[in-house]
Each structure stands twice: as C-alpha cells, then as structure tokens.
A and B are shown apart, each in its own frame.
Chain A
C-alpha cells in the first residue's frame, strides 16, 4: 500500500501570500494519478486538482499542481480568505487508493 506523507502539518500564512503544500509518496505513483482536495469543516470535500496538475472544473488558476514519481506539490499563488482549510492529497494509481493526512492552511 502506498503511504502519502503531507507536509507541513500546519501552514500559517496571510491572505495574499503564496502557499506551497507537499505530498510525498512511499512509492512512485503510476501516471501521476494524484489529486488534491480542500475540506472545510461541515462541508463536503471538494476536488481541486487531478492527475497531479489538472485543475478541476471551476478552480481558479491561482491553484497549480506539479510533480511526478514520489514528490508532488500544490501551490496557491495568492491566498484568498476562502482558501484557508485542510488540503489532502490522494493517489489513485495503485489499489488500494490512499490519502495523505492533510495540511491545515490557517490564517496567520
């Protein structure tokens, strides 16, 4: 089973700043089949990126994803107030599909 490790666990930034979230895999992820989701308390999770770098419908272009193999990054170029939440990565290249523990992006 592939283990995904996200860092940092908590990221404290201010609106307007740039956020860089990391997701590292214990094994190479087939075809970069990695997604990023945002989860706010009391809400359903929302997909932001899939296949490592493809933005889901309606996701603004200040969100970008990169990486391949075992190292992946989600970058938010200029933080907006609605961006502060938990982000988790998810690999679907190898069964069983697994998730990272999440990075909490909080307002500094």
Chain B
C-alpha cells in the first residue's frame, strides 16, 4: 500500500520560505506524477504544483512566481518550497500521487504563517 507523509515546520514567519517534504513509502516514484495541494482554514482546496518523476513540472499560475517543486527519487521524496509567505499561505498542505486526479494522499500538515 502506497503511503505519503508530509514533514516540515508547522510555523513559518511572514516573508520567509515554507519548505515541506513528502516521503513516499510502499511503492516506487518512477512512472508517476506527484503533486502538492493545500487547504486554507475554512476554504476549499487549491492545487499548487505537480512534478513527474523525471523532474518535469507544472505550477498553478497564481503561485508560480513563489513556488518550486522538486523530486529526489533516490530518497523516495519530493519537496515544496514557497517563498515570501504571508497569512494567506496558512493552510493544511497535502502531498498526493498523481498529476491530475489523485489516488493517494498524505494526511496533511498544517503550516501557520506568523506575523
């Protein structure tokens, strides 16, 4: 059974960089797309970006200037970096398998931006 687990700081200061890692277990990353999705408190989900195992990426235009997604298949991990964070970036961040529909999700990790 494929499992995904997000990790990273739960608190980030305003204007700094949010960094999260997703560790994939129970399966290979090869041949699959991997994505980040977030949900601000009381709001709907928002797609952030996806990456193919070979490093090909796609970003949500609304976040593209601040986001970097990367993959390290040797460690079975992919990562998210979001720069210049503000209160609006406070959200539960999920990592998922898939570039379009998502068949596996992590439990999600709450990241709070403090001013």
Q: Which of A42, A51, A92, A99 contacts B45 (CB 8 A)?
A: A99
Complex interface: chain A residues within 8 A of B32 (CB): none
Question: Knowing A44-B106, A47-B102 touch, does A96 contact B60 (C-beta < 8 A)?
Answer: yes
> What string of 1s and 0s marks CB contacts (under 8 Å) between A32-58 and chain B?
010101000011111100110000110
Task: Tell which of A33, A44, A90 has the most Cβ of chain B within 10 Å.
Answer: A44
Q: Which of B46, B58, B62, B108 contacts A44 (CB 8 A)?
A: B108
Q: Is the CB of B100 within 8 A of A47?
A: no
Q: Is the CB of A92 within 8 A of B94?
A: no
Is there a chain A Cβ closer than 8 Å to B61's Cβ?
Answer: yes
Q: Which of B61, B101, B104, B107 contacts A90 (CB 8 A)?
A: B101
Question: Knowing A96-B60, A96-B61, A96-B62 touch, does A47 contact B103 (C-beta < 8 A)?
Answer: yes
Complex interface: chain B residues within 8 A of A56 (CB): 103
Cα distance, A97 to B33, chains bound together (Å): 14
- The tally of residues in A whose CB lies under 8 Å from a CB in B reads 24
Q: Is the CB of B44 within 8 A of A99?
A: yes
Cα distance, A32 to B94, chains bound together (Å): 24
Question: Knowing A95-B58, A96-B61 touch, does A90 contact B105 (C-beta < 8 A)?
Answer: no
Is there a chain B Cβ closer than 8 Å to A102's Cβ?
Answer: yes
Q: Is the CB of A35 within 8 A of B101?
A: yes
Instruction: Give the A-binding residues of B (Cβ under 8 A).
Output: 4, 37, 43-47, 58, 60-62, 94, 100-108
List 13 A–B pairs whose Cβ atoms lie within 8 Å, in order of A's numbering: A37-B102, A42-B107, A43-B107, A45-B102, A47-B102, A47-B103, A51-B101, A57-B103, A92-B100, A95-B61, A98-B47, A99-B46, A102-B44
